[in-house]
Chains A and B, each alone.
Chain A
């Protein structure tokens, strides 16, 4: 029997992607792809879609299968070796609690979103790329759950991430960011997630968590990070290609895409503030400061990217200067916010020790000693005197980003920024001009925001008292509050045989 000739890469790619599509005979394209044009994006020729990886479905399954086998072998070893004792100290686990409750559900959201784009885009190249990313994201959600659940046996706050994500006040920040994109059309979704998030901002999400894990002895999370790395580089490349593709297809696409870039840059930046707080306050061994990260990944690399996109008419995202002006204040203000609402969070908060305060002084020479060190020192003294500070009121949230309205004017850092607008006779409040502008562009949508404090007062969150609401969130009495008095800390000191003097913080 004659052996079939082996296909080269290009032939194989064409056979295994382009040829997977079929021609429609009894329905029109508009009937089959009803979501492809309402956003105003014009695509003249879907065949111009280029996949730089030329990854075929069969190769995809093979690579991913290999990665899974390696990952799960390490997870098994982790469980057998009490590897949870290898982390720097029990404070580190709180970074994982944020990751598992705030990021892992986004992976699942991305899985849903790319399944949607894979169905909605009329071009087969885009369908296949979306399908692969959809499966990648499901894999990320699963592997993160399996990795981090190792710690759930030993530490509080890790037991119910998806339930918490759908209900908890501070988790409405990532949730609303993602659902804003998910509930838009396929082009807005892919711009929001593939470009603004995966391409422009992802280094500031993955680098801090994965390097943070490596610095702090968390080999389980490092292992997940390695397993996701090649997926991430594929996703980043897709993000850039997709923007270029849309811009090359029709000149009318430019203003629409620019507005999406502006919007999701800002929303993504607001979301990343929580990661910044983790970098500056929660990692016992720091990787770099938020400010350094922002300078390197956004001010330098981001600037280069936007210089490169200038030939298409794309400019730096609107309000980017604001992000730079805030960089010396952002993380301190957020940590103090979570500290003051620590009784209503599913992770612990604490005041850094003196050497950590010195690190912050060094990294934030303009602001830290002047504004933030005195506050932290005051709160530490209060705690020592048995008066650990918790804010008794529910916070006023920004209608758009859903973060408590804690941001200040960088030129006047003890003055809060208050912005408001009126829509259909009601007032809406914002943390920034950017959040206000996002609302004003789509008030029909943004006025529907599910703001947790307001929902509590509407009677939709299990009751009117804090214990009622925490029960509705599925928080246990050990999940939140001061780290020093936590069960995590007590267990850690017992496992490690530490005396009170040797303890963390």
Chain B
């Protein structure tokens, strides 16, 4: 469907086009079953950033306040990229891992499901 406008060929800027982010792209990162962080966070990251650096630098800044964080076995973490399961290559960039502008990464930590296993 298309908008009905007062004049023909109405369109406007795509407010969040990747060009507007000074060389970064937006990446959303959420942690399933950890509702203490009520929603995924949004981060402006260089597309060339290795996935391993995201795990080392971005993910702890976002989620380390949760007591489960220290117990994460990173070899066991399951990842979802834009809804599909995904095996990131840690030394490859976001771009080469298929993480694009406004992609959503979800982190699943089997066995760690929030305070007292409550999803919080």
Contact = CB atoms under 8 A, between A and B. Distances in A.
A453 B28 CA distance: 11
Interface in B106-120: 106, 113-116, 118-120
B41 A389 contact: no
Contacts of A416: 30, 32, 35, 39-40
Interface string B1-20: 11111100011111111101
B94 interface: no
B31 to A, nearest CB: 10
Contact of A445 (B12, B17, B40, B83): B12
Contacts, number: 149
A427 B82 contact: yes
Contact of A448 (B15, B20, B29, B33): B15
B3 A414 contact: no
A38 B8 CA distance: 10
Q: Size range of the interface on A? A: 35 or more
A447 B14 contact: yes
A406 B14 CA distance: 24
A447 B102 CA distance: 13
A371 B38 CA distance: 13
Given A424-B14, A427-B100, A447-B14, A457 B115 contact: no
A447 B13 CA distance: 8
Interface in A437-493: 440-445, 447-451, 453-454, 457-459
Contact of A389 (B21, B36, B43, B113): B36
A451 B114 CA distance: 29
Contact of A426 (B16, B32, B83): B16
A445 B3 contact: yes
Given A38-B4, A38-B5, A404-B39, 6 more contacts: A40-B4, A185-B4, A336-B35, A371-B118, A405-B40, A457-B24
14 contacts: A374-B115, A395-B39, A414-B113, A414-B118, A416-B35, A416-B39, A420-B104, A426-B16, A426-B102, A429-B102, A442-B3, A445-B10, A449-B15, A454-B42
